[in-house]
Amino acid sequence: MSICEQYYPEEPAKPIIKTKSIPGPESQKQLKELGGVFDTRPAYFLADYEKSLGNYITDVDGNTYLDLYAQIASIALGYNNPALIKAAQSPEMIRALVDRPALGNFPSKDLDKMLKQILKSAPKGQDHVWSGLSGADANELAFKAAFIYYRAQQRGYDADFSEKENISVMDNDAPGAPHLAVLSFKRAFHGRLFASGSTTCSKPIHKLDFPAFHWPHAEYPSYKYPLDENSDENRKEDDRCLAIVEELIKTWSIPVAALIIEPIQSEGGDNHASKYFLQKLRDITLKHNVVYIIDEVQTGVGATGKLWCHEYADIQPPVDLVTFSKKFQSAGYFFHDPKFIPNKPYRQFNTWCGEPARMIIAGAIGQEISDKKLTEQCSRVGDYLYKKLEDLQKKYPENFQNLRGKGRGTFIAWDLPTGEKRDLLLKKLKLNGCNVGGCAVHAVRLRPSLTFEEKHADIFVEALAKAVNEL
Ligand SMILES: Cc1ncc(COP(=O)(O)O)c(C=O)c1O
């Protein structure tokens, strides 16, 4: 019996589409009602999570879609997963929900166990964790940890703040509020809060009207595909971008204290960074005393066939901070150097200091992935799916440009010739029973759960061939 069959003996055998348009009439009616209290403009349809199961999401019209978008890459184990339902019904969960602790001041007796369980899933080389609430929050907390560490190195880890620092910080002035930068990359997405928003630059709509820090954006490599046929050219591209990174660190108007990078830029178009590029960044960050942060919010928790995507690069020595959220449900950052723990309390602090209910779910997700070997399954299914997509690419080269994600589990993407064609393909895919997302201007990105198997890949490829044929 496959893992999906073990979890979901009742999972639908295939998608069921009952309405001629999506959203269907009932979705439209209920979305209109909801529109009175919520911004429903980005809604695809109104979902019925009670009826959704495994790899299938159902809407209020009774349409049941094979889900390759999975709540913007955030459902690790399918809908209504029995192991997660069991964790959700535990006494610890009830305590976490009903008497939510302000963890910093009043940590619970359950917390030690929860964090140690989360740490079982830490990336290689990392053995500490600090918890946050969302992807953007995780990145902002990581920036704070990086700045605190950077200044502690200059001041001395145990040295106290000067009077000048204490006074100037109250006016948002240096030296208490120092002029320091985080370097990120063009097309990056690290969240929509203020500091994370300054490191994001995938689309103007995420940033317009918000004051931003004056922080540098280096160039992220743009590779030629297939990778194995273009290795010389891609190496030159890596070197070109690395030179820009180093130049920006050396010449930016304010010191660069940290660098943040996605191992695969996801919202920005599924742009991959090579092992060489990610390792060279480690060399550069060490040379210039810059904190190295890897953002695994979207790539993390198994979808690339490893628990953490940057583990493919085996970066040595390990990076300083690794941020997570989405498929782990809980959020935060992993680290290994205790010097990233601030020298005084209340410097990295807020009311909740994380969300224990989400930590319980994260622990259960990590345990299931390990027990059921779901990263191995994701690699196997990804290879199977990739081959099928290569076949489609041969047939429809115009509509399968830059197919990428080979050997990266089901974390697969490709480009359509235009944004209009991509949007049309996504629409037709829905009408053919598959919920799929796009990214950047004209890319399609696949982000199914780790419970996605070969039989689901077959259904998707059949629907895709039909949809492409209709373009
Ligand atoms: C790589 C990456 N970092 C950060 C974020 C922000 O996460 P959140 O939307 O939970 O704030 C995202 C969200 O898509 C992401 O893909």
Distance CA 355, CA 173 (A): 33
pLDDT score recorded for residue 267: 97
Q: Which of 207, 325, 355, 358 to mutate to test the pocket of ligand 1 (most atoms within 8 A of CB)?
A: 325
- In sequence order, which residues have a C-beta less than 8 Å from that of residue 328 and are 6 or more positions away? 76, 121, 300, 301, 362, 365, 366
Distance CA 262, CA 269 (A): 12
pLDDT score recorded for residue 220: 98
Instruction: Give the percent of the chain with pLDDT over 70.
Output: 100
Centre of ligand 1 from the C-alpha of residue 212, in Å: 18
∠ CA 205-68-372 to the nearest 5 degrees?
A: 125
User: What length is written for the chain?
Assistant: 471
Cβ count within 10 A of residue 201: 20
**Buried (b) or exposed (e) across 43-77, using 16+ Cβ within 10 A?**
ebbbbbeebbbbbbbbbbbebbbbbbbbbebbbbb
pLDDT score recorded for residue 38: 98
What's the mean per-residue pLDDT of the chain?
A: 97
* Sign (positive or negative) of CA dihedral 7, 13, 14, 16: negative
Q: Which amino acid, 185? A: F
pLDDT score recorded for residue 277: 98
Q: Which CATH architecture has domain 101-354?
A: 3-Layer(aba) Sandwich (3.40)
Burial of 209 (0-12, 13-18, 19+ CB in 10 A): exposed
The tens digit of pLDDT for each residue in 9-62 reads 999 999 999 999 999 999 999 999 999 999 999 999 999 999 999 999 999 999
284 and 242 Cβ atoms separated by less than 8 Å: yes
Residues with CB under 6 A from ligand 1: 134-136, 139, 189-191, 262, 266-267, 295, 297-298, 325
The tens digit of pLDDT for each residue in 182-211 reads 999 999 999 999 999 999 999 999 999 999
Rg (CA), the chain: 23
The tens digit of pLDDT for each residue in 337-354 reads 999 999 999 999 999 999
Question: Residue 240's pLDDT band (boundaries 50, 70, 90)?
Answer: very high
Q: Whose CA is nearest to atom 10 of ligand 1?
A: 135
Centre of ligand 1 from the C-alpha of residue 72, in Å: 9
Centre of ligand 1 from the C-alpha of residue 404, in Å: 21
Superfamily of domain 3-81+373-469: Aspartate Aminotransferase, domain 1 (3.90.1150.10)
Shortest-distance atom of ligand 1 to CA 266: 16
Shortest-distance atom of ligand 1 to CA 139: 4
Q: Whose CA is nearest to atom 7 of ligand 1?
A: 135
Q: Which helix (H) or strand (E) holds 198?
A: helix 194-199
Shortest-distance atom of ligand 1 to CA 296: 1
pLDDT score recorded for residue 63: 98
Q: Whose CA is nearest to atom 3 of ligand 1?
A: 190
The tens digit of pLDDT for each residue in 384-438 reads 999 999 999 999 999 999 999 999 999 999 999 999 999 999 999 999 999 999 9
CATH 3.90.1150.10 maps onto the chain at 3-81+373-469
Q: Which residues are catalytic?
A: 189, 295, 326, 351
Tokens matching residue 399: 């509509």
Please give the DSSP secondary-structure letter assigned to residue 312: G
Report how far apart, in Å, the C-alpha atoms of 5 and of each of 57, 136, 451 are: 17, 35, 9
Q: Which of 72, 298, 324, 330 to mutate to test the pocket of ligand 1 (most atoms within 8 A of CB)?
A: 298
* Sign (positive or negative) of CA dihedral 59, 65, 67, 68: negative
Q: Which of 137, 187, 267 to mutate to test the pocket of ligand 1 (most atoms within 8 A of CB)?
A: 267
Spatial CA neighbour of 146 closest among 285, 273, 250, 267: 285
pLDDT score recorded for residue 266: 97
250 and 288 Cβ atoms separated by less than 8 Å: yes
Shortest-distance atom of ligand 1 to CA 326: 10
CATH 3.40.640.10 maps onto the chain at 101-354
Distance CA 464, CA 444 (A): 11
3-state secondary structure of 91: helix
pLDDT score recorded for residue 280: 98
Centre of ligand 1 from the C-alpha of residue 258, in Å: 18
Q: Whose CA is nearest to atom 4 of ligand 1?
A: 190
pLDDT score recorded for residue 5: 96
